């Protein structure tokens, strides 16, 4: 389960399988926002070369995921609808410290935690969905998101002391576990 402190509510999978198109549409928006996070980080820290290369790779992969999800929608004669936002991610980002010393650490770790939870949700979908095409797709994507989690933690350890990274990751994952417990099991990737 990577860094996560708990598993998703079992009720979520029932809602997700009953409203699969809603989940797929929200998933496309998640991939778009993951690419956006990469662009924000490489724009904000141009002097950090390793970060810029890692985020350039991430942006390419996430946009590729976005394209693949769009193609799945198209094959099902469905269209993308407006982004309804992501309350889970919004709550996590309320913990981002804004001072120069801590901001990058928190941004990297929060992005990494979102990747880890997305990986868990994709694994759940891969296990429970009947559709063979989607099962395969979600399994591949789960591996890719796990890799992104590792990238963010590796970058955090490159720019901060290992003990500081572990301590903050522990604090943020405790908070994330609390958010997960209180979710209403909506038909979204992080619902």
Among positions 69-128, residues that touch Fe ion (CB under 5 A) are 115
27 binds Fe ion (CB under 5 A): no
Give the Cα separation of 8 and 69 in Å (integer). 22
Q: Minimal distance in Å, beta carbon 112 to Fe ion?
A: 10
Give CA angle at 183 (33, 89), nearest 5°.
Answer: 25
Alpha-carbon distances, residue 101 vs 105, 106, 160, 164 (angstroms): 8, 10, 10, 12
Residues in the interface with Fe ion (CB under 5 A) total 7
- Identify which range of 16-24, 34-42, 159-167, 171-179 contacts Fe ion by CB under 5 A: 34-42
* Contact residue for Fe ion among 22, 86, 106, 145 (CB under 5 A): 145
* Contact residue for Fe ion among 34, 51, 59, 119 (CB under 5 A): 34
190 binds Fe ion (CB under 5 A): no
By the criterion CB under 5 A, which residues form the site for Fe ion?
Answer: 31, 34, 62, 65, 115, 145, 148
């Amino acid at each position: 389960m990577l860094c996560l402190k708990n598993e998703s509510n079992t009720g979520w999978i029932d809602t997700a399988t009953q409203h699969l198109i809603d989940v797929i549409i929200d998933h496309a928006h998640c991939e778009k926002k993951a690419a956006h996070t990469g662009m924000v980080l490489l724009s904000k820290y141009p002097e950090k070369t390793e970060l810029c290369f890692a985020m350039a790779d991430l942006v390419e992969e996430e946009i590729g995921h976005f394209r693949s999800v769009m193609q799945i929608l198209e094959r099902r004669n469905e269209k993308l609808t407006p982004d309804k936002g992501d309350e889970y991610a919004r709550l996590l980002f309320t913990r981002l410290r804004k001072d120069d010393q801590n901001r990058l650490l928190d941004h990297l770790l929060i992005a990494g935690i979102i990747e880890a939870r997305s990986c868990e949700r994709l694994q759940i979908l891969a296990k429970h969905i009947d559709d063979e095409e989607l099962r395969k797709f979600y399994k591949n994507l789960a591996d890719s998101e796990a890799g992104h989690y590792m990238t963010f933690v590796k970058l955090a350890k490159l720019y901060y002391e290992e003990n500081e990274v572990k301590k903050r990751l522990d604090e943020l994952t405790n908070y994330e576990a609390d958010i997960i417990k209180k979710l209403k099991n909506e038909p979204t990737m992080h619902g």
